[in-house]
Amino acid sequence: MKDTERIEMALPLIIEWYAASRRVLPWRESPTPYHVWISEIMLQQTRIEAVIPYYRRFLAELPDLPSLAAVEEDRLLKLWEGLGYYSRARNLKKAAQLVMERCGGELPSRAEELKKLPGIGDYTAGAIASIAYGEPVPAVDGNVLRVLSRLLACGDDIMAPATRKTMTRLLQAYYPSGDAAGLLTEGIMELGETVCVPNGEARCELCPVRRLCRAFREGTVDRFPVKAPPKARKIQQRTILLLRCGGKVAIRQREKKGLLAGLWEFPGLDDAQDEASLRNLFPDALSIQPCGEARHIFTHVEWHMTGFAIELPRELPEYLWETPQTIGERYSLPTALRFYQSQL
Ligand code: SF4
């Protein structure tokens, strides 16, 4: 059987299966364009269970596009705190402002138009356009690539853009429109999340396309998808300083560009320091105490952090000084520093 025939026959089965067995999730209760957009952005790089409370909190405070366009950046980042990849939140606000200015407050309905907004790529545009507007366009993410590569027993590297393009084209040719478009988009993702799962745990006995699946038939499910190994992450040593003075702690804002742009953080040094070298940097410190080691993994870099609590006789003017309680309530600190925040 040709790949195209396999796809053509599999898609209606996935729609039928999804319509009958989908999980109830908050953004599925009323899939308006705004709801689909916010949920899809939150779900990038984040598990569904982790997203649910954030999604509810976000929607309770910013229920529509105008409220998102008008929110203060600090408040927005606070709502996003813990989800990571903060540029996603900033892009949401930027896009909302553009939609208010240029599109009369309505998210565009076509994927091609949606892609012109900040933070909306092929995948998110396809998801919004098909789920909320019924446009016959696919949304191809890692789940979809896994299902398709097994269904077709396709050995192409799923991390390669060319593979994504080929899979998108294959799906596109048979994509339905209207309600079925949304059901299919969510259905393939759901299949990848709950049945055709990674790491040798595929539950083929529950799969609606088992009869058509080439990898299942050939007993090669565990060989797919093929993924080129990722490049090794760069390890960066850091020293985190909890500078204290009279019950307050020093924080500073990160640069507006780059990793964790614009977030607040404890001062830090981009190398590993010890007590003796810190004594040279802070000669009048009243005390210098180690306060633990922590690691944090970003996409391309890994921080290996060593922390020191340093009691100073006076506040240094280059930092902002706040009580631990105010820091917790008002400032968004990255998850990478959560361990040190818990030491305050
Ligand atoms: Fe995935 Fe198994 Fe279904 Fe094939 S039969 S698509 S491997 S769950």
For the chain, the structural domain boundaries read: 3-223, 234-341
The residue among 312, 243, 235 whose CA lies nearest residue 270 is 235
CA of 196 to the centre of ligand 1 (A): 5
Burial of 118: CB neighbours in 10 Å, binned 0-12, 13-18, 19+: middle
- Output the tens digit of pLDDT for each of the chain's 344 residues: 899 999 999 999 999 999 998 999 999 988 999 999 999 999 988 889 999 999 999 999 999 999 999 999 989 999 998 888 888 999 999 999 999 999 999 999 999 999 999 999 999 999 999 999 999 999 999 999 999 999 999 999 999 999 999 999 999 999 999 999 999 999 999 999 999 999 888 999 999 999 999 999 999 999 999 998 878 889 999 999 999 999 999 999 998 888 888 889 999 999 999 999 999 999 999 999 999 999 999 888 999 999 999 999 999 999 999 999 999 988 988 889 999 999 88
CATH of 3-223, one of 3.50.50.60, 3.40.1800.10, 3.40.50.970, 1.10.340.30: 1.10.340.30
C-alpha span between 156 and 162 (Å, rounded):
9
C-alpha span between 182 and 21 (Å, rounded):
15
Distances in Å between the Cα of 76 and the Cα atoms of 10, 91, 93, 154 are 41, 11, 8, 42
Sign for the pseudo-dihedral over CA of 285, 290, 292, 295? positive
Ligand 1 atom 1 nearest Cα: 196
Planar angle of CA 306, 307, 310, nearest 5 degrees: 145
CA of 192 to the centre of ligand 1 (A): 9
CATH of domain 234-341: 3.90.79.10
C-alpha span between 290 and 55 (Å, rounded):
37
Among residues 5, 40, 186, 302, the one annotated as catalytic is: 40
Ligand 1 atom 4 nearest Cα: 213
CA of 296 to the centre of ligand 1 (A): 34
At what angle are helices 3-21 and 142-151 packed, to 10 degrees? 130
190 among known catalytic residues: no
Which of 14, 149, 195 for a ligand 1 pocket mutation test, highest count of atoms within 8 Å of Cβ? 195
Decide: pTM greater than 0.85.
no
Query: Which atom of ligand 1 lies nearest, measured to the CA of 146?
Result: 1
Query: Which atom of ligand 1 lies nearest, measured to the CA of 147?
Result: 6
Q: What lines the ligand 1 site, CB under 6 Å?
A: 147, 150-151, 195-196, 202, 204, 207, 209-210, 213, 215-216, 221
3-223 and 234-341, same CATH topology: no
